[in-house]
Amino acid sequence: MVNPILLIWTIFGAAIVHLWLSVRRLRQRAGYQPGQIYLFSPANLLANLFPRLKYVTVGTNWGFNWKHDSFSEFGQDIISITSLLPFPEVSLFLADPIATKDMTSSRARFPKPVEQYGLLEFFGQNIVASEGEQWKKYRKISAPAFSDRNNKLVWDEAMKITEDMIDTVWHKQDVVHIDHCVEITLPIALFVIGVAAFGKRMSWEDEEVPSGHSMTLKCALHVVTTDFIFKALLPNWALGLTSRLRKVRDGFDELRRYMKEMIAERKNTLTTARHDLFSSFIEANDGDDQVTLDESEIIGNIFIFLVAGHETTAHTLCFTFALLALYPDEQEKLFQQIDSLMPEGSLPSYEEMPKFTYSMAVFYETLRMFPPVNFIPKVAAEDTSLSTTNLHGQRINVPISKGTYVTILTPGLHYNPRYWKNPHLFNPERFLEDWPRDAFLPFSAGARACIGRKFFETEGIAILTMLISKYKISVKEEPQFSNETFEQRKARILKTGQAFTLSPIRVPLTFTRRV
């Protein structure tokens, strides 16, 4: 008779040997690249909700927390992560601008792994979660909306909306205390994209919940972008178990209802010529078969552009204001240039935007230090290779097998000391000189680079310029933090989390009117 305990141990031992051989084979195919080993895959959302445990999980917000440290530890700018569950896998991560440029310019060799973007298809297929002919279709439809004419509208509306906030919400007060800076940056960004991309004008005073809804559009967007992880991980029935989960369920339902209403409203007003993003998607239904969209595709793309167009701008501006509050000397340099370019009582035009070089430098330095998207994943479509730099400055060849996931770790690239001097230092002036463009990737690169980059830059520069011209920013004084050092304050103010994009946790600021 077979001993059951012996049988169990035999099966367990065989499984371990099989697992070890699988990992060894995978690492051999990856050229035994240096790196780390974890029980759970870094792509496992559930595992990444927990703190970092050595050899178990990479930890929450790990891509940003790593920056370039792990690359430095292993002595080269392409490293591996080997994981065992849910199945053995070896993935490669890049912080090398040469390899990055090679990869992003080779769409056939390194396409986008759309299967990793299922979370972004809550409402339908869209330009971010697509590849090949489908992506080309969405790109063709949306590209005309990101014209210079529309960017001028973005600039004018951003200026006007920011000025309206100062007049209507702040009532031109001399001192304004904000508990968390996103309280102002999120609505400003939402209002701008509402007008410029969707023809939907919102007011600072319009906070009533519309008839037929249980929350405002602003609230629904906030719920969806903040707590989407619950929608991704839990079945629908579980979203009714607690008040927070019910709010998540209702937020998704409300956002879908708002988007359907926006579509219906715009279809009834298409007799008026419009050139915004929304009209491009609605009018696609009247085109030939190659560019026609169904309603789910329209809603899916509206959702992506709403999120990308308001959350990334809002969070970047929040980090920008936080950095300027922490570094008043840099804020003063910025103000001096703005003051010299803005005669009292006048607003600069879109055509004058290139003159605001320090505004752009501050904005870019913020994007370098706090890139909205920490990971740019690709997959090898064939057996290929990339070259990288090792600890001694030598170029080495890294073999990559077909099917291997290869991810650009944006913080690793942005904090690579080989290309950025003192990368942890907030130094906007580095962008006033010759700077390493291939080592700066907040908008991705190649054919899949962000289509709304100029929209994003225009909006951010306009809002930053307008607010700094009127107010001086400082960290809000709170009694419980009265004895903290500068480094402690900096760590607290710049603490990050991860929602759809890199997010500030809490940035309490004081805005003092300039005289």
Render pLDDT for 127-168 as a digit per residue (tens, 0 to 9). Answer: 988 988 899 999 988 888 888 888 999 999 999 999 999 999
- Mean pLDDT over 239-252 rounds to 92
Higher pLDDT, 187 or 273: 187
pLDDT tens for each residue of 39-56:
888 887 777 778 888 888
The pLDDT score that the predictor gives to residue 407 is: 95
Higher pLDDT, 1 or 339: 339
- Mean pLDDT over 71-83 rounds to 93
The mean pLDDT of the chain is 88
Predicted confidence (pLDDT) at residue 2 exceeds the cutoff of 70: no
- Mean pLDDT over 309-325 rounds to 94
The pLDDT score that the predictor gives to residue 175 is: 97
Higher pLDDT, 162 or 310: 162
CATH classification (class only), 100-361+383-401+448-513: mainly alpha
Q: How far apart are CA 283 and CA 275, in angstroms?
A: 11
Instruction: Give the residue carrying structure tokens 């070890």.
Output: 20
Extended strands (E) in 159-199: 175-178
Higher pLDDT, 466 or 281: 466
Predicted confidence (pLDDT) at residue 28 exceeds the cutoff of 90: no
pLDDT tens for each residue of 405-433:
999 999 999 999 999 999 999 999 999 99
Distances (CA, A) of 509 to 74, 324, 460, 484: 39, 11, 18, 16
The pLDDT score that the predictor gives to residue 267 is: 76
Handedness of CA 507, 366, 62, 69 (dihedral sign): negative
Q: How many C-beta atoms lie closer than 10 Å to residue 300's C-beta?
A: 26
The pLDDT score that the predictor gives to residue 289 is: 52
**pTM of the entire structure?**
0.91
Q: What percent of the chain has pLDDT over 90?
A: 53
Predicted confidence (pLDDT) at residue 249 exceeds the cutoff of 90: yes
Nearest to 194 by CA among 298, 108, 105, 276: 276
For residue 157, the surrounding DSSP H or E stretch is helix 148-164
Predicted confidence (pLDDT) at residue 290 exceeds the cutoff of 80: no
The pLDDT score that the predictor gives to residue 484 is: 95
- Mean pLDDT over 104-116 rounds to 90
| Residue 450 is assigned to a ligand binding site | yes
Ranked by mean pLDDT, the top range of 105-109, 326-330, 399-403 is: 326-330
